[in-house]
Amino acid sequence: MGIFSTILAKLGFGDDQPAAVPEVAAAPSVAAAPAAAPVAISVVDVVARLEALAKANPEKLNWKQSIVDLLKLLGLDSSLSARKELAGELGCPAENMADSARMNMWLHKTVLQKLAANGGNIPADLL
């Protein structure tokens, strides 16, 4: 399991994934199923989940701007090596990988975009 898959699971994305697979598999035999298939992916309230974790955390973590704080909030390894692994997993451009500050900014934005692409409700101002 990759780091991004772990992030998805920690935020509850995995809870809805198994339910979506049988509906997609049934689509060829049922004419109305293709229209219903997009409904199978439910929205995960990422902000509410992260805000709840932040309130319960003794540290003041700025997950809205920092990939390190976001990873810490989820109880994941936030070390440079873990962030480089996640950046590689998500396809970070080589020029960003060479500069940790640029990589961190790219990584934070990309993680939030990928969460949104997977059904997370990320506000536009965070994207």
Q: What residue numbers bound the domain in which 93 lies?
A: 3-9+42-126
Look at 27-31, 80-84, 93-97, 113-117 and tell me which has the smallest mean pLDDT. 27-31
Structural domain contains residue 115? yes
Q: Which residue has the higher pLDDT, 42 or 100?
A: 100
74 is a domain residue: yes
Q: Helix (H, G, I), strand (E, B), or coil: what is residue 120?
A: strand
Q: Is 72 helix (H, G, I), strand (E, B) or coil?
A: helix
User: Is the pLDDT reported for residue 31 higher than 90?
Assistant: no
Mean pLDDT of the chain: 81
**What is the separation, in whole angstroms, between the first and last Cα of the chain?**
25
Q: Is the pLDDT of residue 39 over 60?
A: no
- Give the mean pLDDT of 96-122: 93
- The answer to whether residue 55 is domain-embedded is yes
Query: Within a domain: residue 110?
Result: yes
Has residue 24 been placed in a domain?
Answer: no
Are the beta carbons of 51 and 122 closer than 8 angstroms? Answer: no
Q: What value, to the nearest 5°, has the Cα angle with vertex 71 and ends 67 and 77?
A: 120
Residue 120 lies in a domain: yes
Please report whether residue 15 resides in a domain: no
Task: Tell me the whole-structure pTM to 2 decimals.
Answer: 0.74
52-96 per-position pLDDT tens digit: 999 998 999 999 999 999 999 999 999 999 999 999 999 999 999
> Minimum mean pLDDT among 10-24, 42-56, 95-109: which range?
10-24
Answer whether residue 95 is part of any domain: yes
The total number of structural domains in the chain stands at 1
Distance CA 84, CA 126 (A): 22
Specify the residue for token string 């060479």. 98
